[in-house]
Amino acid sequence: MVTNTKEDAKVKENLKTEGPEVAEEELEGLSTLEQADKIVRNFVLWSAGGGLIPMPLADIAAIYAAQVTMIAKLSKVYDIPFSEHKFKNTLFPLFASLGVVPMGTGLLASMVKIVPGVGQLVSGLSMPVMAGAITYATGKVFTSHFEAGGTLLDFNPETMKDYYKELFEKGKTVAKEAASS
């Protein structure tokens, strides 16, 4: 794995300890796509849990950290050099493709946690699903790109925006189902 900054080195150093782990024996004999699907599923759950963090904006930071770690782990599965800087440059345009309403709703769901009781309840109903859906869409878009032989260097968010939106909608259902199982 190649790192380009101190941040990338920190991510690489913490890959073994951060985020949900899939036991090596669970991955043995699986194709790269099957391994990627397991990683994405685990991070959907982890991100949904991050959406339950009671402090405003700390939940968003946790969800972002989950996405960075998930893509770093997917990069490792596909033997692709990971750069957090490059990932950030591709992730934010994908988020923006969802439009103002979903992104504004996520920010509002985080900020409403300031209101005692009711704020926690309202946010607890919406934030985990949004977080899981965004993580699902991100994981699936990058898995598809990596499966096609792409890397972080040649990822073009503009060409993936419609697919990302579609996966985000599907991710809402996946997140709800994953949380209930």
Give whole-number Cα distances, 60 to 49, 76, 130, 135, in Å.
11, 24, 11, 12
Query: What integer is the mean pLDDT of 109-133?
Result: 75
Q: Residue 140 domain-assigned?
A: yes
Q: Residue 136 domain-assigned?
A: yes
Whether residue 51 has pLDDT greater than 60: yes
Long-range contacts of 106-112 (CB under 8 A, 24+ apart): 106/60, 106/130, 106/131, 106/134, 107/60, 109/51, 110/56, 110/57, 110/59, 110/60, 111/56, 111/57, 112/56
Cα(24)–Cα(33) distance, rounded to whole angstroms?
15
Phi then psi dihedrals of residue 170, to 5 deg: -65, -35
Whether residue 143 has pLDDT greater than 90: yes
Total number of domains constituting the chain: 1
Which tens digit of pLDDT belongs to each residue from 60-104? 889 889 999 999 999 999 999 999 888 888 888 887 777 755 666
Query: What integer is the mean pLDDT of 44-65?
Result: 88
Whether residue 27 has pLDDT greater than 80: no
Give the closest residue to 69 by CA, choosing from 118, 155, 142.
Answer: 142
In this prediction, residue 107 carries a pLDDT of 65
- pLDDT bucket at 137, cuts 50 / 70 / 90: very high
For 63, the token pair is 């969800």
* HEC secondary structure over the chain: CCCCCHHHHHHHHHCCCCCCCCCHHHHCCCCHHHHHHHHHHHHHHHHHHHCCCCCCCHHHHHHHHHHHHHHHHHHHHCCCCCCHHHHHHHHHHHHHHCCHHHHHHHHHHHHHHHCCCHHHHHHHHHHHHHHHHHHHHHHHHHHHHHHCCCCCCCCCHHHHHHHHHHHHHHHHHHHHHHHHC
Q: Which residues contact 93 (CB under 8 A, 6 or more apart)?
A: 157, 158, 161
Q: Residue 68 domain-assigned?
A: yes
More confident residue, 118 or 64: 64
Q: Residue 109 domain-assigned?
A: yes
Query: What integer is the mean pLDDT of 122-148?
Result: 89
Q: Residue 83 domain-assigned?
A: yes
Query: Which amino acid type is present at position 128?
Result: P
Q: Residue 17 domain-assigned?
A: no
Query: What integer is the mean pLDDT of 129-136?
Result: 92
Q: Residue 108 domain-assigned?
A: yes
Considering the entire predicted model, what is its pTM?
0.81
More confident residue, 108 or 92: 92
Q: Residue 25 domain-assigned?
A: no
- pLDDT bucket at 176, cuts 50 / 70 / 90: confident
Domain extent for 79: 6-11+31-180
